[in-house]
Structure 1
Amino acid sequence: MTRRAFLHIGLPKTATTYLQTILWGQRDAVAEQGLLLPGRERRDHLWVSRVVREEPDRKRRPEREHEAMDRVLADVAAWDGDVLVSHEFFAAASTGQAAAFAARLAATGREGHVIVTAREPLGLFTASWQESLKNRSTTPLADYGRSESTSPQDIWDWRTLDLSLVLERWLAVVPGERTHVLPLDRSADREEIWRRFAGVVGIDPTRVDVSGSFPNESMGVVEAELLRRVNGHLGEFRSAFDRGVWIRTFLADERLVTRGGERFWPYPDQVADCRARGERAVALLAERDVDLVGDPGWLLVPETLEQRRTPDTVSDTEVADAAAEVIAGLLGDVRALKAEAKQAGATEQPGLPSRVVSRLRGRRSPSR
Structure 2
Amino acid sequence: MSRRIILHIGPPKTGTSSLQETLFAAQDELMDQGVAYPTLGRHDRMPRAAGHHGLPAVTQIGAPLPAPLLEWVGDLPAGHSVVLSSEDFSHLSAEQVAHLAAQLPGAAVEVVYYARRWDRLLPSVWQELVKHGASCSYPVYANLQTAAPRASVYLNYAQVLDRWVAGFGMASIRLFSFDNAIMEMGDIVTHFCRAVLGDVTVSPREDDGQNHSMEPVDAEILRQLNRLTFGADWGDASVRQRLWQRAFGLEEEIVTLERVLTPYLRRCRPCAPLVLHQLEQEMLARYRDSLENPTPEGFLFKREDFREAAFVDSAHLLMSDSPALIRDLHRKLDLPLAAVAGASPAADPESRPVAQSKS
**TM (normalized to structure 2)?**
0.68
Contact 1:9 1:87 in 2 (8 A): yes
Which residue of structure 2 aligns with residue 60 of structure 1?
A: none
Structure 1 residues 278, 90: closer, same or farther in 2, change over 3 A? farther
Which residue of structure 2 aligns with residue 143 of structure 1?
A: 140
Which residue of structure 1 aligns with residue 305 of structure 2?
A: 304
Which residue of structure 2 aligns with residue 335 of structure 1?
A: none
Pairs within 5 Å for 1:124-143: 124-143=121-140
Of 161, 169, 177, which aligns to 1:167? 161
The alpha-carbon deviation at position 283 of structure 1 amounts to 3.6
- Within the alignment, does 1:180 sit opposite 2:187 as a pair? no
- Within the alignment, does 1:91 sit opposite 2:64 as a pair? no
CA distance in 1, matches of 2:102, 2:34: 22
Kindly provide the CA deviation profile for residues 331-357 of structure 1, in whole angstroms up to 9, marking residues without a partner as x.
Answer: 9xxxxxxxxxxxxxxxxxxxxxxxxxx
Which residue of structure 1 aligns with residue 111 of structure 2?
A: 114
The alpha-carbon deviation at position 233 of structure 1 amounts to 3.1
CA distance in 1, matches of 2:60, 2:7: 14
Kindly provide the CA deviation profile for residues 81-100 of structure 1, in whole angstroms up to 9, marking residues without a partner as x.
Answer: 21111111111111121121
Identity %: 25
Contact 1:226 1:323 in 2 (8 A): yes
Q: Report the AA paired with residue 123 of structure 2.
A: T
Pairs within 5 Å for 1:5-20: 5-20=5-20
Structure 1 residues 101, 265: closer, same or farther in 2, change over 3 A? farther
Q: Secondary structure at the match of 2:10?
A: coil
The alpha-carbon deviation at position 273 of structure 1 amounts to 4.5
Q: Report the AA paired with residue 304 of structure 1.
A: D
CA distance in 2, matches of 1:214, 1:294: 29
Contact 1:37 1:83 in 2 (8 A): yes
Where in structure 2 are there 5+ consecutive unaligned residues? Answer: 45-51, 249-253, 335-359
Contact 1:179 1:290 in 2 (8 A): no
Of 22, 43, 53, which aligns to 1:46? 53
Kindly provide the CA deviation profile for residues 287-345 of structure 1, in whole angstroms up to 9, marking residues without a partner as x.
Answer: 33543232357744864346664432662448579969988x989xxxxxxxxxxxxxx
Pairs within 5 Å for 1:179-198: 179-185=173-179, 188=183, 191-198=186-193
Kindly provide the CA deviation profile for residues 14-49 of structure 1, in whole angstroms up to 9, marking residues without a partner as x.
Answer: 111111111112122112212112343643621211
Contact 1:275 1:300 in 2 (8 A): no
Where in structure 1 are there 5+ consecutive unaligned residues? Answer: 56-65, 149-156, 332-368
The alpha-carbon deviation at position 50 of structure 1 amounts to 1.3
- Within the alignment, does 1:223 sit opposite 2:218 as a pair? yes
Which residue of structure 1 aligns with residue 228 of structure 2?
A: 233
Q: Secondary structure at the match of 1:288?
A: helix
CA distance in 2, matches of 1:174, 1:67: 17
CA distance in 2, matches of 1:210, 1:255: 30
Q: Secondary structure at the match of 2:229?
A: coil
Which residue of structure 1 aligns with residue 351 of structure 2?
A: none
Q: Report the AA paired with residue 43 of structure 2.
A: R
- Within the alignment, does 1:209 sit opposite 2:206 as a pair? no
Q: Report the AA paired with residue 52 of structure 1.
A: T
**TM (normalized to structure 1)?**
0.67
Q: Secondary structure at the match of 2:103?
A: helix
Structure 1 residues 308, 102: closer, same or farther in 2, change over 3 A? closer
Contact 2:90 2:160 in 1 (8 A): yes
CA distance in 2, matches of 1:299, 1:253: 40
Runs of 4 or more above 6 Å deviation = 258-264, 324-327
Q: Report the AA paired with residue 217 of structure 2.
A: V
Structural RMSD (CA): 4.1
Q: Report the AA paired with residue 73 of structure 1.
A: L
Count of matched residue pairs: 301
